[in-house]
Structure 1
Amino acid sequence: MQTNRRTLLKGMAGMTAILATNPIIALAQEGAGGVLRVAAAKPAGDLNPHAFKGLWAVQDLIFEPLLRYEHGGRFSPALATEWQVEDGGRLLRFKLRQNVKFHDGAPWNAEAMIWNLDRWIGKDSTAWMNASRLFAGHKVIDDYTVEITFKEPVLGLLNEFSYVRPSRFLSPKSVDAAGNYQKPIGTGAWMEEQATNDGSEFERFDDYWGDKPGYKHLELMVLPDSRGRMAAIRAGDIDLTGGEFLAPIKATEAVTLQAAGVPVVVEQGTSTIVAGLNPDRNPALKDLKVRQAINIGFDRNAISQVLYKGLAQPAANIFPETVHLSGKRFPVPARDPEAARKLLDEAGWVGDGVREKDGQTLSIEIVVSEEQIAGSRSLAEVMQAQLGEIGIDVKIRSVDHASRHSDIPARHFDIALFTTFGAPYEPFGTIIGLLLSTYDNGVDGKLVIDPEHLDPLVNAAASASEDTVEQATQAIHDYLHDQVSCLPLFYVPSIWAHTNRVSGFKAPSTEYDLPYKGLALNF
């Protein structure tokens, strides 16, 4: 969307209506001094940490993990102060933090931990987590020491205990007599005061064990339309907006906000947009030379400009450097039409205009979904134009989100766009979920299917020791790169904006966290 005076005025007019009807925003305008006002695209929803319905970033305010995922794949203590992995990866021992309370005064201890674990670990509904699927048992050593055992070593074990759900902790008193969830009560820095479809209000938990926020209230304001959010932050009616899952900011919006003097933070994220290739549907893609020609037949920098106004870094690896075990850096392929044409000639695809071979035209269909990746139609149009110049006929098929969820697992595409999972699920979330043919990951589908060559590499990495895992994952990266099994396009940036009323902002380590820590409000 192009931002101009007309659309900006329309957004401001819409903001007036929002202010008139949204009591959360009206309250914040009346006395915003000690309140951090955060935009969200939708209501917080069901915040039960053992369900999968609410906004991740809001659950992060209330519920804490045993350990936190930090930038670069490090872990820091949270509700556990120490942890050890023993017995070849089959035993995980946690030393729990003492003198911690839930919001309702219930104590945090081994009993509370086990009560929470029993609500999800080892259940069929959470078998997608290795820690749950391979769970063997748990044992209370003392009031603040718990051991968990597994049937075999667990890939990504510590990552899984840092997830926002289901591995965070709810007060045992926040359920009814039958064990049914009633309200969100955790150990986090914020307590929910009230929630409606217009927003949610949170009060600082003054008995919080960690560093307490310097402001007493946090308000989540539901602004579904991105133009309304942009108008609100320019007017100072909200303090903070952004995040892939909370209130996404388009690159065009980020540039507009920057030009208006609004502080915008753009950092390297942890996910990648990758074009998946399906040789089983289009036999032309079985030829390495054809894949190589496509790889250098379009301009990644041009795509970055189209989608992210240059804010996204073009990619050659499936993971950015911000992901642990992301591998050695490969050079980003530069567009080289002459070299691409030569490769197609060598592959037997010849002729002026659209190339042919054995009576067949070199035609490829790209499937895109604007609901999955905003701007993906424009991305495909760049590839269509540039690959057309080397003799490849590119057709674009746009689908809605539901159709994509059926087409991609069924492999009804020649080329389709995928997004890697991002931290804290990396690297093995994507390696197992999108690359291992035998693993059922539902509607996400498979980026690459290669049982003969790739599956053994993935299985070797999955069973590698700490000493050999880097070499084993590098073998996967090398194979994907050498075989051009997929086309990494660019690394998705993390984009946030805040007013000058906010200082000390730092982008969160994952898109599932709300970055309130370390913030100060200039009253």
Structure 2
Amino acid sequence: MRGALQSDRRLRRGGVRGLVAIVAAALALAGCGVGGGSSEPGARTTIRVATMEPVGILDPWDFVGQFHAMDLVYEPLIAYGEGGALEPALAESWDVSGDGLTVTFALREGVRFHDGTDFDAAAAKFNLEQWVGKEKFAFLGGSRAISSIETPASHTLVLRLSAPYPPLLQELTIVRPVRFLSPAAAPGGSYREPVGTGPWKVVSSTDTSGSFVRNDDYWGPEPEIERVEMRVIPDSQTRLSALRAGEVDLIGGGYLSPINAVEAASIADDPSLDLVTGDPDTTMSLTFNRRGPLGERAVREAVSLATDVEAINDVLYGGKEYVARSYFPPSVPHSGTPTTRRYDPHEAERVLDRAGWTMKGSTRAKDGRPLRLELLLVSDPVHGMTDSRTTGQALQDALSTIGIEVELTVVDGATYFDQQAAGRFDLVFSTTYGAPYDPANSALSFLSSTADTPTWSSPALDALVDRSVSAGDPATRDSSYQAVYDLLERDVAFVPITHPPRYYAVRSEVDGFRVPPHEYRLDLTHVTLG
């Protein structure tokens, strides 16, 4: 789970006011995009979806295929519904034993893979064996918790657990590696071709496009449209122009083809387009590397006090309603009690004074060491961080007013994650995974010392995270997660910035599109085209 181009325009004092001017100019440019072209007359049978990256190799047990393309082709045992409701998919029902050590699934009968192979308990077991107990998938607690897989009947699947793991059912809703591939398409467990049970079958996949045709033998509601075409358009403004010109029908989503707040505002004013907005499901936070000055709580506290989160949200993210006041947004189960963020740059200066960081010219210093920090930023669009560079400029300006010098380092996505993993940064924006991974998977991936790249960890936090993910009843989970959040607040382990809204845009002739329950889905079964 889980090209440097740095703007030379820096915001000086009163940086958020300067930010308003930048965004206003960008909004004017967005409104001058290509005019709305009309689609061909009469009902069409193909929907064209813009995506920022290629479909890739749709191996459900690897990490290279695009999530949304996988979701069209492969299905889970359990579906993640609105508000986190667990709904039947390839499993019609399930039962968890009283001790939490046995989960029994009644599999749906009459389901076939695209190649005609029956989906049954043997096929399900074959798929589960590709990731259960494998080190590659240790980020999933279920991979470690499942001790055996049994098939007592043709459509009965039984999972035995070494210890109770309450998040297991929710983990089984994610896209990879828990979706199901035809055993005939992976002889001996070696992936050969993308053959699932889903409503769409793969026709082709190249570096520039992906094509999918309706599965006319689908067990569920048959889609109205016959074909899905994915067109790779990496640039955000080019995607928006293509939508206005009628060259594509749908853009949006955190991982599909992100829309920022500036673009969303221009879409809302375009009569040829419909903007569809969903509740936030992630949090973008400023996180700290405890090397150097940020090992001091006082420095972290000063950074937090000097960050005007409300102003940043008002300008960049469309309004103060998106201000993050907790580690997870309210839509995530067990997200805890929101906290009141405090903005007080004068108190930030006093905190640094008391800690011995005194002004030397325009930058503070202590024991001959200047208070300089590096903020690592990503140039590529990343879910929940589409405006991170502009946010970074605002932060750079704000911290300069209290004597902290911040260097902005902008790198491409691959370099960004490599440097983050290696700890080569002081400050970084990070985002939680979102549904259906949260809260358990973000907690295990970012707040546990056993994770590959924890954003914060300690023995006390490890104990609290372990207690949270293993808690059997909802009340205990609530209190355990709250203890996690309280500890993070006491440590000033992060500065929550925003719960970014989820934007999608379609042409006005697209009917029936709904914001999916999570950002890794692309449900087109209810869509029609005028």
Deviation at 1:507, TM superposition (A): 0.8
- 1:429-440 aligned within 5 A: 429-437=441-449, 439-440=450-451
Return the letter of the residue paired with 1:469: R
When residues 498 and 388 of structure 1 are mapped into structure 2, their CA distance, relative to the original with a 3 A threshold, is same
Measured against aligned partners, the alpha-carbon deviations of 1:112-137 in whole angstroms (never above 9, x if no partner) come to 21222223322333233222223311
Contact 2:258 2:386 in 1 (8 A): no
Mapped to 1, the partners of 2:372 and 2:236 lie a distance apart of: 37
When residues 4 and 65 of structure 1 are mapped into structure 2, their CA distance, relative to the original with a 3 A threshold, is closer
Match of 2:479 among 461, 471, 476: 471
Partner of 1:454 in structure 2? Answer: 461
Deviation at 1:201, TM superposition (A): 2.5
Partner of 1:496 in structure 2? Answer: 504
Provide the TM-score with structure 2 as the length reference: 0.86
Match of 2:48 among 37, 41, 50: 37
Mapped to 2, the partners of 1:243 and 1:304 lie a distance apart of: 19
Match of 1:427 among 430, 434, 439: 439
Match of 1:254 among 264, 269, 274: 264
When residues 137 and 196 of structure 1 are mapped into structure 2, their CA distance, relative to the original with a 3 A threshold, is same
Runs of 5+ in structure 1 lacking a partner? 17-27
Deviation at 1:314, TM superposition (A): 1.4
Partner of 2:114 in structure 1? Answer: 103
- Given the alignment of the two structures, is residue 168 of structure 1 paired with residue 176 of structure 2, yes or no? no
Return the letter of the residue paired with 2:307: F
Partner of 1:22 in structure 2? Answer: none
Mapped to 2, the partners of 1:359 and 1:166 lie a distance apart of: 51
Match of 1:227 among 211, 214, 237: 237
Match of 1:364 among 373, 386, 390: 373
Deviation at 1:264, TM superposition (A): 1.3
Mapped to 1, the partners of 2:516 and 2:34 lie a distance apart of: 29
Q: Secondary structure at the match of 2:502?
A: strand
Match of 1:379 among 357, 382, 391: 391
When residues 122 and 337 of structure 1 are mapped into structure 2, their CA distance, relative to the original with a 3 A threshold, is closer
Name the stretch that deviates more: 303-312 or 271-280.
Answer: 303-312
Deviation at 1:187, TM superposition (A): 1.4
Deviation at 1:8, TM superposition (A): 8.1
Q: Secondary structure at the match of 1:269?
A: coil
Deviation at 1:330, TM superposition (A): 1.4
When residues 266 and 6 of structure 1 are mapped into structure 2, their CA distance, relative to the original with a 3 A threshold, is closer
Partner of 1:20 in structure 2? Answer: none
Contact 2:285 2:496 in 1 (8 A): yes
Contact 2:130 2:189 in 1 (8 A): no
Q: Secondary structure at the match of 1:279?
A: coil
Deviation at 1:487, TM superposition (A): 0.9
Deviation at 1:271, TM superposition (A): 1.5
- Given the alignment of the two structures, is residue 301 of structure 1 paired with residue 313 of structure 2, yes or no? no
Return the letter of the residue paired with 1:492: P
Partner of 2:198 in structure 1? Answer: 188
Contact 2:166 2:471 in 1 (8 A): no
Mapped to 2, the partners of 1:56 and 1:44 lie a distance apart of: 8
Partner of 1:140 in structure 2? Answer: 151
Aligned length: 501
When residues 289 and 60 of structure 1 are mapped into structure 2, their CA distance, relative to the original with a 3 A threshold, is same
When residues 414 and 465 of structure 1 are mapped into structure 2, their CA distance, relative to the original with a 3 A threshold, is same
Match of 2:400 among 374, 383, 388: 388
Measured against aligned partners, the alpha-carbon deviations of 1:52-107 in whole angstroms (never above 9, x if no partner) come to 22111011111110001123322111011111222533221111112222222222
- Given the alignment of the two structures, is residue 484 of structure 1 paired with residue 492 of structure 2, yes or no? yes
Deviation at 1:427, TM superposition (A): 0.6
Partner of 1:113 in structure 2? Answer: 124
Name the stretch that deviates more: 465-474 or 401-410.
Answer: 401-410
- 1:18-167 aligned within 5 A: 33-86=44-97, 88-154=99-165, 156-167=167-178
Contact 1:306 1:379 in 2 (8 A): no
Q: Secondary structure at the match of 1:270?
A: coil
Contact 2:101 2:163 in 1 (8 A): yes
Q: Secondary structure at the match of 1:416?
A: strand
Deviation at 1:6, TM superposition (A): 7.9
When residues 174 and 407 of structure 1 are mapped into structure 2, their CA distance, relative to the original with a 3 A threshold, is closer
When residues 303 and 289 of structure 1 are mapped into structure 2, their CA distance, relative to the original with a 3 A threshold, is same
Provide the TM-score with structure 1 as the length reference: 0.87
Measured against aligned partners, the alpha-carbon deviations of 1:266-306 in whole angstroms (never above 9, x if no partner) come to 22232111111223322xx3444443332121211332355
When residues 140 and 273 of structure 1 are mapped into structure 2, their CA distance, relative to the original with a 3 A threshold, is same
- Given the alignment of the two structures, is residue 237 of structure 1 paired with residue 244 of structure 2, yes or no? no
Contact 2:31 2:266 in 1 (8 A): no
Deviation at 1:469, TM superposition (A): 1.6
When residues 397 and 42 of structure 1 are mapped into structure 2, their CA distance, relative to the original with a 3 A threshold, is closer
Partner of 1:324 in structure 2? Answer: 333
Mapped to 2, the partners of 1:368 and 1:183 lie a distance apart of: 36
Match of 2:428 among 410, 416, 419: 416
Return the letter of the residue paired with 1:483: D
Contact 2:194 2:202 in 1 (8 A): yes
Name the stretch that deviates more: 30-39 or 186-195.
Answer: 30-39
Deviation at 1:5, TM superposition (A): 8.5
Contact 1:281 1:412 in 2 (8 A): no
Mapped to 1, the partners of 2:41 and 2:53 lie a distance apart of: 23
Contact 1:355 1:362 in 2 (8 A): yes
Return the letter of the residue paired with 2:242: A
Partner of 2:526 in structure 1? Answer: 518
When residues 474 and 517 of structure 1 are mapped into structure 2, their CA distance, relative to the original with a 3 A threshold, is farther
Deviation at 1:170, TM superposition (A): 1.4
Measured against aligned partners, the alpha-carbon deviations of 1:213-241 in whole angstroms (never above 9, x if no partner) come to 22222222233333332122112222111
- Given the alignment of the two structures, is residue 215 of structure 1 paired with residue 225 of structure 2, yes or no? yes
Contact 2:444 2:451 in 1 (8 A): no
Mapped to 2, the partners of 1:294 and 1:161 lie a distance apart of: 39
- Percent identity of the aligned residues? 35
Return the letter of the residue paired with 2:387: G
Runs of 5+ in structure 2 lacking a partner? 1-22
- 1:273-292 aligned within 5 A: 273-282=284-293, 285-292=294-301
Mapped to 2, the partners of 1:297 and 1:260 lie a distance apart of: 38
Deviation at 1:426, TM superposition (A): 0.8
Partner of 1:340 in structure 2? Answer: 348
Contact 2:77 2:91 in 1 (8 A): yes
Contact 1:95 1:145 in 2 (8 A): yes
Mapped to 2, the partners of 1:63 and 1:46 lie a distance apart of: 13
Q: Relative contact order, CA 8 A, sep 6+: which one is greater?
A: 2
Return the letter of the residue paired with 1:200: G
Contact 2:72 2:523 in 1 (8 A): no
Deviation at 1:318, TM superposition (A): 0.9
Mapped to 1, the partners of 2:299 and 2:208 lie a distance apart of: 52
Contact 2:323 2:499 in 1 (8 A): yes
Q: Secondary structure at the match of 2:501?
A: strand
Mapped to 2, the partners of 1:318 and 1:147 lie a distance apart of: 35
Return the letter of the residue paired with 1:520: T
Return the letter of the residue paired with 2:136: S
